[in-house]
Structure 1
Amino acid sequence: MPEETTAEGDHRRASILTALREGVRRVDDLARACDVSTMTIRRDLQVLEQRNEIRRVRGGAVPVDAWTFDHRLGRSVAAKDMIAAKLMTLVPDKGGIGFDGSTTAHGLARCLKQQTVRDLTAVTTGFETFHELSRTPGCRAYATGGAADPHTGSLVGPLAQVTLQQFALHTCFLSATYLDEAIGSTEFTADEAAVKRALTAVSRRTVLAVDSSKLGHRAVARCLPLDEVDILVTDLEPGDARLEPYRGLVELM
């Protein structure tokens, strides 16, 4: 049997978290949902418990209600690294760019800090992303202000949206809680969805970056339909069968 890659393990554990949020609790049911052995599920639950993303209960597990930025930063690391490398090719040499408060956008900001940029202006709704951008030579960074979303920590609300209206951006880089081919991207909170729509409204180009574990699922708040997304970036190759539902609806990368 071939050795499992880090990306495969990250993807499966993200799938376990999705199943837990959808109400699947027992180890046996999680094993069937992920098409792996119960032993593999128990090992994954141990990893997720060490990250404080789940709580073990008799016969299974339940998700931790709120994730800090650091907890989310530790999820799907290999996939986010692959996505960040793709996103780097979409960053213009100069002009304005926008970032949401996601850990995926944060990964791009970290990569950008290691590159030479000429004259970029960047605005973000994320505290951690702002700190990365503010230390990037050749980049003038702005944080929107606003209230911290209780679930994500991103800056949201009227102040964040008014701040974004002061910019005319070339490209915005967003992620999503989930992505469904029928209704597009969704978020856990309406406030988070609203501020992401505000980012797209002031941008000529919208790039949506999601790891493959988020495909085919829905959260409670609608955000962007796919016809408002210019490029969809994932950790998959564009020809991967898992992207078939999105083919023809959006440019795949």
Structure 2
Amino acid sequence: MSEESTAEGDHRRASIITALREGVRRVDDLARTCGVSTMTIRRDLQVLEQRNEIRRVRGGAVPVDAWTFDHRLGRSTAAKDVIAAKLLSLVPEKGGIGFDGSTTVHSLARCLKEQPVHDLTAVTTGFETFHELSRTPGCRAYTTGGTADLHTGSLVGPLAQVTLQQFALHTCFLSATYLDESIGSTEFTADEAAVKRALTAVSQRTVLAVDSSKLGRRAVAKCLSLEEIDILVTDLSPEDERLEPYRGLVELM
């Protein structure tokens, strides 16, 4: 098995992305941060550049605009379609629901027009998701105020959290940067994690939707423990062995 396909390599490259977003740029500094050789870092940067997740510059690398909403929307589209189809069955015909600003949950909002809803209220932290929801018959859409997270485009900060406190929701639909069986879901920024926790706090049920490439990996900011997640929805069959670490801890779908 090649190094690039190992869990160790995946975790290290996730750490590199996190470090780049925190301002670490030079190969030497990345090597010290990750505790590996500069040769290993250069190999990892080559892999990340091929994935269009970073741009290499002299002496190091910088994060590219690959994490803008439009770019993320075009990643893992088949997996997102599978997930959105599963999520549709969890949307009530009426009542209150919450959406984060992720592209995975945006796929659900886009598909919501295919399912009849009546007197449904939806609040979201994402501009693009709000636009989809506002065009959905039978759905009254709200978006929070707040500051746009430069990494995700989601609305975050105290104003977003205060707005969410005005709602009492049946279900919130969230995604995550990564999901680890030990510490739960994680995000690239603490602000993003905080607003997702705020959505969970006003919801009776929390649904986390992540594609299988995000499993077993960690970003820098802790968000939700597995105990706080009611249903985990992925592009995998619930019987898939890759979901074994989560079996019995959350409902799998």
Do both proteins adopt the same fold according to a TM-score greater than 0.5, normalized to the shorter chain? yes
* 8 Å Cα contact 1:21/1:63 also seen in 2: no
- Correspondence for 2:220: 220
- Correspondence for 2:176: 176
- Correspondence for 2:125: 125
* 8 Å Cα contact 1:20/1:62 also seen in 2: no
- Correspondence for 2:104: 104
- Deviations, residues 109-138 of structure 1 (Å, cap 9, x unaligned): 000023321110000000000000000000
| 1:185 is aligned to 2:178 | no
* 8 Å Cα contact 1:20/1:63 also seen in 2: no
Shift of 1:150: 1.5
Amino acid at match of 2:208: L
Q: Distance in 2 between matches of 1:64 and 1:232?
A: 30
* 8 Å Cα contact 1:19/1:30 also seen in 2: no
3-state SS of 2:153 partner: coil
- Deviations, residues 55-101 of structure 1 (Å, cap 9, x unaligned): 3679xx87537621001111111111100000001001110000000
**TM-score when normalising by structure 2:** 0.80
| 1:241 is aligned to 2:225 | no
Q: Distance in 1 between matches of 2:85 and 2:235?
A: 10
Q: Distance in 2 between matches of 1:65 and 1:186?
A: 20
- Deviations, residues 31-52 of structure 1 (Å, cap 9, x unaligned): 9xxxxxxxxx79x92xx34xxx
Question: Among 7, 18, 22, which residue is 2:15 paired with?
Answer: 22
Q: Distance in 1 between matches of 2:41 and 2:82?
A: 30
Amino acid at match of 1:138: G
Amino acid at match of 2:15: E
Q: Distance in 1 between matches of 2:210 and 2:86?
A: 12
The number of residue pairs the alignment matches comes to 223
3-state SS of 1:22 partner: helix
Amino acid at match of 1:68: T
Q: Distance in 1 between matches of 2:62 and 2:243?
A: 29
- Correspondence for 1:200: 200
* 8 Å Cα contact 2:11/2:218 also seen in 1: no
**TM-score when normalising by structure 1:** 0.80
Question: 1:51-62 to 2 correspondence within 5 Å?
Answer: 53-55=53-55
Q: Any gaps of 5 or more consecutive residues in structure 2?
A: 17-39
Change over 3 Å in CA distance of 1:237–1:168 after alignment to 2: same
- Correspondence for 2:27: none
Range that drifts further, 109-118 or 165-174: 109-118
- Correspondence for 2:22: none
3-state SS of 2:86 partner: helix
Task: Give me the CA root mean square deviation.
Answer: 2.6
- Deviations, residues 216-243 of structure 1 (Å, cap 9, x unaligned): 1111111000101100000000010100
Change over 3 Å in CA distance of 1:226–1:17 after alignment to 2: closer
